[in-house]
């Protein structure tokens, strides 16, 4: 195992990179490395069965599932029995919000933020509407992209039942002071639901240190297959009664899972966690310790790429960068003068550079920034990007200086 971040080794494990594109679209989903592809294929090749059977293939699925709960717990600093699997963070957040809202009464309050992805806003707003609860909004500073934690002292009251906040904006990257916000929630007995979908691939995560009662993340953002998890303390989950089938297990966390889990994909998630644990460090210690060391190296590596990206874009007078928070995930959100974001993305695609355009479901954020409905261009670094990816993006954007105007749509 290497001591430092070895980008050539990392890139070699991603077959998709062989197409020569600069994949700067990781915030919408990363590529998948060989060990993850192999783990999924191996599960199918070996034979899996549904849970609870008397035969070996069923027991293999049980082992895959148990291993995966522990792997995810190690990734975020939770406990295995508090790991809930689901098809997506959006689906899980709807599930948890309806279970929580059963205990809300008219006049109770929930706090959401305009910095968040809509998946950590709308499920809470709709659940609050049904319960007759009041929704209070935390605002981010449009000039800086910061989400001041201090405002929560006013937003949170003795009637607050839940505070939903992101650990990192999937558009402008802002990393709010979640620990401070969660402490304000906790002081009145409110729960804190943290959207870790964008944060998890970019930094070491410790949900206890964040003060997260619930931590949500999607494996497809960190080298895994398309499924998601919410992690919480089993004792907290015991207090909730989600809708479930009569014969399905009622113990925690199973009562939150609907139908049969994708066992082969769970094998892939475990392999993805092992992958994240192996970028750097000595290889010694528990998996949790390896993850923390490895993700610290990832953060450092990605932030160096991000500085290069930001400096390059900031030097272009035809580019407007949105957000400049002090602590950010390595994700840039920008507009090019006179060009619709889609036109910029199409131009970059013609240069082999993959970026995203639109609101990226940061719907409230785009309204606040006056970017509705076309949004902006999003380019972000993940662990398999390198300097040449950034340079190709910068030269592609530089070509657009003085480009003939296409109306913003
Ligand atoms: C910050 C953030 N939260 C939530 C989501 C929704 O995740 P999922 O696609 O798993 O529902 C995304 C997806 O892009 C995201 O970036």
Ligand 1 contact, 90 CB (< 6 A): yes
Ligand 1 contact, 116 CB (< 6 A): no
pLDDT (tens digit, 9 = 90+) per residue, 335-356?
999 999 999 999 999 999 999 9
Distance 358 CA to ligand 1 centre (A): 14
The predicted structure's pLDDT at residue 282 = 80
Distance 152 CA to ligand 1 centre (A): 24
Task: List per-residue pLDDT tens for the chain, 409 residues long.
Answer: 446 899 999 999 999 999 999 999 999 999 999 999 999 999 999 999 999 999 999 999 999 999 999 999 999 999 999 999 999 999 999 999 999 999 999 999 999 999 999 999 999 999 999 999 999 999 999 999 999 999 999 999 999 999 999 999 999 999 999 999 999 999 999 999 999 999 999 999 999 999 999 999 999 999 999 999 999 999 999 999 999 999 999 999 999 999 999 999 999 999 999 999 999 878 889 999 999 999 999 999 999 999 999 999 999 999 999 999 999 999 999 999 999 999 999 999 999 999 999 999 999 999 999 999 999 999 999 999 999 999 999 999 999 998 765 544 4
Give the residue, by CA position, lying nearest to ligand 1 atom 2: 197
The predicted structure's pLDDT at residue 1 = 46
Going by C-alpha positions, the residue among 120, 129, 131 that lies closest to residue 168 is 120
Ligand 1 contact, 378 CB (< 6 A): no
296: left (phi over 0), alpha (psi -120 to 50) or beta: alpha
Ligand 1 contact, 174 CB (< 6 A): no
Pair 400, 347: CB distance under 8 Å: yes
DSSP string, 7-67: HHHHHHT-GGGGG--EE--GGG-----HHHHHHHHHHHHH----TT-SSHHHHHHHHHHHH
Mark out the alpha helices in 234-384 (DSSP H runs).
234-238, 263-277, 287-314, 341-350, 363-368
For the beta carbon of residue 227, count every other beta carbon within 10 angstroms: 22
Ligand 1 contact, 88 CB (< 6 A): yes
Question: What residues contact residue 16 under an 8 Å CB cut-off, 6+ apart?
Answer: 23, 31, 32
The span from the CA of 165 to the CA of 116, in Å, is: 7
* Ligand 1 closest atom vs CA 226: 10
Give the residue, by CA position, lying nearest to ligand 1 atom 12: 197
Ligand 1 contact, 194 CB (< 6 A): no
* HSE-CB of 226 using CA atoms within 13 angstroms: 5
The predicted structure's pLDDT at residue 213 = 98
Sign of the dihedral defined by the CA atoms of residues 365, 370, 374, 377, in that order = negative
Ligand 1 contact, 92 CB (< 6 A): no
Ligand 1 contact, 198 CB (< 6 A): yes
The predicted structure's pLDDT at residue 93 = 98
pLDDT (tens digit, 9 = 90+) per residue, 279-310?
987 888 999 999 999 999 999 999 999 999 99
Question: What residues contact residue 307 under an 8 Å CB cut-off, 6+ apart?
Answer: none
Distance 220 CA to ligand 1 centre (A): 10
Cis preceding-peptide flag for 297 (omega within 30 of 0): no
Ligand 1 contact, 87 CB (< 6 A): no
DSSP string, 119-145: GGTHHHHHHHHHHTPEEEEE---TTT-
Question: Measured between alpha carbons, how far is residue 120 from residues 112, 113, 161, 164, 364 in Å?
Answer: 8, 9, 15, 6, 11
Residue of 114, 170, 217, 269 best suited for mutating to test ligand 1, as the one with most atoms within 8 Å of CB: 170
Which tokens in the block code for residue 300?
A: 């450092």
Main-chain phi, psi angles of 115, to 5 degrees = -80, -20
The CA angle 297-298-304, to the nearest 5 degrees, is 95
Instruction: Name residue 103's beta-bridge partners.
Output: none
Which tokens in the block code for residue 269?
A: 């998630």
Helix (H, G, I), strand (E, B) or coil at 288: helix
- Buried (b) or exposed (e) across 197-215, using 16+ Cβ within 10 A? bbbbbbbbbebeebbbbbb
Ligand 1 contact, 118 CB (< 6 A): no
Distance 277 CA to ligand 1 centre (A): 22
Instruction: Name residue 135's beta-bridge partners.
Output: 110
Q: How many helices (H) and strands (E) does the chain have?
A: 14, 13
Ligand 1 contact, 170 CB (< 6 A): yes
Which tokens in the block code for residue 406?
A: 């296409």
The strand pair at 160-166 and 214-218 is best described as: unpaired
Residue of 197, 201, 265, 329 best suited for mutating to test ligand 1, as the one with most atoms within 8 Å of CB: 197
DSSP string, 189-200: T-EEEEE-TTTG
Main-chain phi, psi angles of 121, to 5 degrees = -120, -65
The predicted structure's pLDDT at residue 408 = 44
Ligand 1 contact, 164 CB (< 6 A): no
Specify burial of residue 288 (Cβ count, 10 A radius: 0-12, 13-18, 19+). middle
* Ligand 1 closest atom vs CA 169: 1
Distance 362 CA to ligand 1 centre (A): 10
Ligand 1 contact, 2 CB (< 6 A): no
Distance 89 CA to ligand 1 centre (A): 6
């Amino acid at each position: 195992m290497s001591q430092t971040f070895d980008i050539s080794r990392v890139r070699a494990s991603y077959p998709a990179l062989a197409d020569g594109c600069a994949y700067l679209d990781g915030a919408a989903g990363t590529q998948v490395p060989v060990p993850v592809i192999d783990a999924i294929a191996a599960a199918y090749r070996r034979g899996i069965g549904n849970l609870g059977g008397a035969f070996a293939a069923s027991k293999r699925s049980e082992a895959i599932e148990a291993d995966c709960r522990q792997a995810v717990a190690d990734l975020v600093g939770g406990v295995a029995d508090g790991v809930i699997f689901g098809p997506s963070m959006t689906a899980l957040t709807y599930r948890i919000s309806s279970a929580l809202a059963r205990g809300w009464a008219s006049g109770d309050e929930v706090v959401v933020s305009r910095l968040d992805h809509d998946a950590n806003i709308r499920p809470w707003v709709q659940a609050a509407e049904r319960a007759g609860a009041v929704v209070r909004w935390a605002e981010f500073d449009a000039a800086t992209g910061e989400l001041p934690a201090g405002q929560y002292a006013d937003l949170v009251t003795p009637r607050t039942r839940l505070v939903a906040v992101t650990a990192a904006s999937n558009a402008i990257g802002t990393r709010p002071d979640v620990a401070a916000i969660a402490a304000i929630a906790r002081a009145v007995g409110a729960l804190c639901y943290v959207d870790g979908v964008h944060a998890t691939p970019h930094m070491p995560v410790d949900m206890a240190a964040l003060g997260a009662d619930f931590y949500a993340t999607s494996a497809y953002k960190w080298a895994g297959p398309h499924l998601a998890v919410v992690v919480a303390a089993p004792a907290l989950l015991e207090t909730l009664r989600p809708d479930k089938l009569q014969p399905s297990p009622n113990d925690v966390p199973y009562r939150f899972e609907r139908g049969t889990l994708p066992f082969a994909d769970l094998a892939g998630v475990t392999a993805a966690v092992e992958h994240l644990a192996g970028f750097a460090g000595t290889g010694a210690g528990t998996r949790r310790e390896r993850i923390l060391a490895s993700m610290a190296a990832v953060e450092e590596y990605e932030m160096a790429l991000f500085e290069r990206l930001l400096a390059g874009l900031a030097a272009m007078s035809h580019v407007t960068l949105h957000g400049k928070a002090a602590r950010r995930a390595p994700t840039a959100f920008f507009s090019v003068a006179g060009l619709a974001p889609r036109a910029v993305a199409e131009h970059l695609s013609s240069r082999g550079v993959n970026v995203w355009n639109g609101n990226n479901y940061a719907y409230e954020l785009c309204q606040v920034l006056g970017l509705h409905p076309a949004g902006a261009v999003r380019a972000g670094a993940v662990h398999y990007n390198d300097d040449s990816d950034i340079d190709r993006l910068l030269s592609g954007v530089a070509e657009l200086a003085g480009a003939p105007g296409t109306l913003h749509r």
